[in-house]
């Protein structure tokens, strides 16, 4: 199918780590992406990973990729209240120009 799947909600305490999971559809997708959406705003690119990598670290963000299982995760270390938002994973399968987005995971950070 064409559904990129994510769990809908995640709640963590400030200072803890958050892990957001995603299952994508096409193991041939060259890049996998994470976007963040704050209320009333468009999507903002957070990070991406090339499909021949297993892990990418970017400051507080760590992306893990399991290509065999088509599983992508985003770990946010030392989660802050400003990280509260909706997080979308996305892929762009070969043979199409379109990016396919997941349904989004709403992260709530409790002070």
Partner 1 sequence: DTGVSQDPRHKITKRGQNVTFRCDPISEHNRLYWYRQTLGQGPEFLTYFQNEAQLEKSRLLSDRFSAERPKGSFSTLEIQRTEQGDSAMYLCAGGDRSVTGANVLTFGAGSRLTVL
Write out the residues near partner 1 by the rule CB under 8 A. Answer: 4, 31, 33, 35, 40-45, 48, 50, 88, 92, 96-104
C-beta of 33: minimal distance to partner 1 in Å? 7
Cα 111 from Cα 109, distance rounded (Å):
7
Our CA angle for 53, 54, 55, nearest 5°, is 95
Which is closer to partner 1, CB of 14 or CB of 56? Answer: 56
C-beta of 99: minimal distance to partner 1 in Å? 6
C-beta of 30: minimal distance to partner 1 in Å? 8
Q: What does each C-alpha distance from 103 to 13, 62, 73, 90, 110 come to in angstroms?
A: 23, 21, 14, 10, 22
Which is closer to partner 1, CB of 17 or CB of 45? Answer: 45
CA-wise closest residue to 49 among 66, 37, 36: 66
C-beta of 74: minimal distance to partner 1 in Å? 15
Which is closer to partner 1, CB of 14 or CB of 103? Answer: 103
Our CA angle for 9, 34, 52, nearest 5°, is 125
């Amino acid at each position: 199918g064409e559904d990129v799947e994510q769990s809908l909600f995640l709640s963590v305490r400030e200072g803890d780590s958050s892990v957001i999971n995603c299952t994508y559809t096409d193991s041939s997708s060259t890049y996998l992406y994470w976007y963040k959406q704050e209320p009333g705003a468009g999507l903002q690119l957070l990070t991406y990973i090339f499909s021949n990598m297993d892990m990418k670290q970017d400051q507080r963000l760590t992306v893990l990729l399991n290509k065999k299982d088509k599983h992508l995760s985003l770990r946010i270390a030392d989660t802050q209240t400003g990280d509260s938002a909706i997080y979308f994973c996305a892929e762009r399968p070969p043979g199409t120009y379109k990016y396919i987005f997941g349904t989004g995971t709403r992260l709530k950070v409790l002070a």
